[in-house]
Amino acid sequence: MTNTLSFFLALTVLMLAPLAYASESREIGVVTLHYNREDRMHIDHLSKELRVGDIVFIHIDILPFRKIAKDTQSWTNHVGIIIDVAGDEPIVAESTFPRSTTTPFSKFLKRSKDYRVAIKRLHDPLSVAQQAAIKDAANKKLGRWYDTGFNLHSRKQFCSRYVHEVVNEALAIELGTIENMRTLLTNNPKADLLFWRIWYFGRIPWDRETVTPASILHSPKLHSVFDGTIVI
C-alpha cells in the first residue's frame, strides 16, 4: 500500500513538470566571455556553441523539484546531457517522468523557470570516438522508468544518476558526489525533513545512496560554458 501511495503521489506531482516553467559565461575556443546576470543570450546563439557531452542544468518550478534545489543548496534541480548537435537543434538525453527519453534543446529549456540554464563541459575536448560513446551509453538507458525514490542502486533511473552513469560508462569519468540521504540532508541545517518524511511515507531511507544535480553542477571536472537566461 505504501508503495502504491508513493507512486500516485509522485505521479500527480511529476506529471506537472513539463508545464512548469550572476554571472554568465560562454566559451569560444580558449576564450570565455562573461555576461552580467541581467543580460540574455538567444537560444539559437547558444545552440551553435553546444557540443556532444555538454551537461545542461535547469530549474523546474514545482514540488518536489523545488525541495531538491533548496535542500541541496542550489538553484538547479534537473540535468540532462547533449548527445547530438547535427540536426536542426541539439538533442538532450534525460531521465524524466515517466521514462528516460531524448528532448529537443528548446523544449528542454522551456521547462526551466525564467528560462534559466547552465551549460557545463569537461575540461578536455572529446574525440569523435568519445562523443559516440556518450551517445551510445545514453541510448542504452532510454526508456527506463523514473525513480521517485532517488535510489542510486535501483533498477529505475533519475536525472542526475542518468548523467552520472552515462559519463562514467562512456569515459570512465565520475561526475558528482555519491552520498547517502543522511549526509545530504544533515549537511543542510535548513533541509525540510518533514517534507521528505512525507515523501517517503514516514521513514526517510537515511542510508540510501544518491547523486544530485547540485553535486554534478559543482564538479571540479567541469567548467562553465554558459550560466544565465535564454531568450527563446
pTM for this model (two decimals): 0.85
d(CA 133, CA 127): 10
Output the pLDDT for position 9.
47
What's the confidence (pLDDT) of residue 100? Answer: 98
For the chain, domain boundaries: 2-231
CATH 3.90.1720.10, domain 2-231, yes or no: yes
Residue 13 pLDDT = 45
How confident is the model at residue 232, as a pLDDT? 86
The mean pLDDT values, 10 residues at a time, for the chain of 232 residues are 44 42 34 45 95 98 95 97 97 97 98 97 98 98 98 97 98 98 95 97 98 98 96 90
For residue 94, the number of C-alpha atoms closer than 13 Å in the C-beta half-sphere is 25
- Check residue 39 and give its pLDDT: 56
Cell for 90? 541539439
